Structure 1
């Protein structure tokens, strides 16, 4: 392996590790990200960590400023509302296109990814490793719903917005049952409507699924302390 290839591999590894730590709330919203500490933890150079954090900043998971350095993106009600509106518009468009254009192989991908998600268990009662497994299965299921939309740019935007929303979902998850939410039923409904090619109902179900997380967080007033001052 060339030195260039090795550097690329290290950067990708650092990026994915930090990304997963953010998405699973191991790194809290607003938390400073120290280059030296992350480099020591990951066993890479600070330049590799800086490159990974710069990429995460471009993806909306990290903020960077000359005075404060890198931080996990803080949460705010206004950001959540904006994020939710964009997700509804773009994910519903991607789902509608997939239903119109997807073939039998796409249907199979939706069904199989949903099966894996169901078998991943309950994220709120899982161990950290099981919770991460559920989060990956959850992302894969939503990826499958959009997979046949025919637009790589749309898919990339949808995934980036969903990563941003995942941080909020980590906070809303424990409250969902208190609000009587049945997330597993919501996912099954999405799978059934999408594969039945009932586009209007599927998009309405996806809109409800996305907006419910926002409603729970805003209604509960349980946003984390960083919510008031996004950087």
Structure 2
């Protein structure tokens, strides 16, 4: 497995199976991080076949449709963009138009085997509340976020004195959808404070796994969590 992981991940004895898959293979799509295919592969390997999956901020449903086809999951999405919802529905997906800050309250506890929050947590107004809701409605949660501690961001801030513009943060400060800028260390301290269990974690840069100094070298961080 090309990512660092904890030994705490344990399979459930009943269906669905938490065994890994071979991933989505070649993934061609717009990719602001340069890591999208690697991120998708990581998520695929941690998605149980025939499971109930909720993708929060699912966009046009690209990831969900691949999971439905290749992992045969029961796929549901939440997306705030009406245009993206229309495209996702055209793919045959069940996607609800709504805000993640409010939409999760309609789901009962443990409605899903897996909730995915990919490249969205940094845009949320109240990420703590949304993450708590994700862990309430899902047995496990995958969180992916762009890592602000990457050396390119540090360099621009320290030596150029300007808000960083990097592959993982491609927008100028006045045009960015991001509300929060977090590092790997920030995230892990946050999980510890909340009492969430990190089952596995991975880090990528330029489409490749990062093993050493992830807080400095990772462009994106990926975590598989369980609640208290």
Instruction: Give TM class, smaller chain.
Output: under 0.3
> TM-score if structure 1 supplies the norm length?
0.24
> TM-score if structure 2 supplies the norm length?
0.24
Larger radius of gyration: 1
Q: Which has the higher strand share?
A: 2
Q: Which has the higher helix share?
A: 1
Higher relative contact order (CA 8 A, sep 6+): 1
